[in-house]
Structures are given as C-alpha cells and as structure tokens.
Amino acid sequence: MEGPKPLSFEEQVDLFASRGVKIKNKALAIKSIEDIGYYKLKAFSLPLSRVDVNKERLYNNIEFQDILNRFYSDKDLRISLLHCIEDIEVSIKTKIAYILGQKGAYYYLKFGNWCNRDKYCKYYLEDKEKSFKQKIYNRMQRSSSIELKDKKNLKNNKYPTIWLLVEILTFGDVTELLDLMSNNNRKLQVQVSQPSSSHMNSYS
C-alpha cells in the first residue's frame, strides 16, 4: 500500500507556503526544517492556522518566523524550568544529606531511625528499606564515580555515606524519601532551607 510521498526539505517549505505561510527567507526556512523537523514546526503552527470547509489547514498573514518564534519561546521556557527543577533538586538533596548526616554517615540505612513511624507501620518501612538498599546497590554497580569505588566511603563494601548517596539519587528518589521522613525531620528540612538575607538580596 502506497503511503505519503517523501518531500525534500525545500518541498516541505513550499508546502507551508502553499497553505498561506509567508516565507521571507527561504534558506533559513529550509535550514530550520532540516534542524527541527516539519511536523515539530507544524505542531507549533496549529494555533496560528484554521481548517477550511475542505478540511485543509490554512494560514492567513502568518510568517514562517512567527512559527519559529513560538518554537524557540517554548524551548527557552522548558530550559528555564529544567534549570529551576535542577536547582530545587540539588538543594533538597543537600538538606537531606545534612539532616540525616548529623546522626552518622550510615544512619539513613535504618529507615526506622528517621522515617515517620506514626504514618507507616514497621513492616512497610522494612520493605521500603530493603528495596531502597537494592536500588542503591544497583546504582553503585553502574556508577563510574571514583569516590563510590573507594572502600573508606562504603559500609560493608556496598553502601555509600549519606553525602555520596544523594549524588546518585533521582528526583523521584528524593521525593520518596521526603514522603517517608518523620515530621521532626521535615521541620528540620524547612529550617535548614530558610534563605539568608544575602541570598534573598541576590534576587533583588
């Protein structure tokens, strides 16, 4: 069965033009489709288009640059959000390591020490502890970190100190640990997270 015929990058630009998109710089349009892809750009063009009675998508007084602007605005927003999430993740990891590390490098290994025992029964916490330790071990096997290979940083040659542990945790792991934390440890997390005046001034 025959499918749609392949189009060159120039023909893809011509397809936009045939539907009413103004192409002021054809070379730039071709390069953009080469780098981004026709359907990706088409997705960003949809709010700028309409469908006629024949179900054909048409554009009125829309320039190709308008479509590119929408694409790059979305891309910039995504990058900014990722940076914000990364900053939050690093901060939370640091606070968790600081709070649990106050009681010892390997204090975290016993979930009953720091988890919310009022909210979770001991069997649930034991199961979580077991699965978490297995997760750590698996991550350790895949890690190329020199610090994680140094036996002085490991307990029983398997588990890293809390300060190294947080470096191999995902954001999902971190949120799970926060959910398990006792109320007292959560309060400490908030206290440690209070911004200093100098930190706040950096945003003014």
19 & 89 share domain: no
- Report yes or no on 70 lying in a domain: no
| pLDDT at residue 158 in the model | 86
Tens digit of pLDDT for each residue in 30-82? Answer: 999 999 999 999 999 999 888 888 888 888 889 999 999 999 999 999 999 99
54 lies in which domain range?
9-60
As a whole number of angstroms, the distance between CA 175 and CA 129 comes to 15
Residue at token pair 């590390």: 101
148/47 same-domain check = no
Sign of CA dihedral 52, 53, 54, 55: positive
Per-residue pLDDT of 119-177, as tens digits, reads: 999 999 999 999 999 999 999 888 888 898 888 889 887 899 999 999 999 999 999 99
98 found inside a domain: yes
Indicate whether 98 and 43 sit together in one domain.
no
If asked whether residues 119 and 44 sit together in one domain, one would say no
193 contacts 91 by C-beta, under 8 angstroms? yes
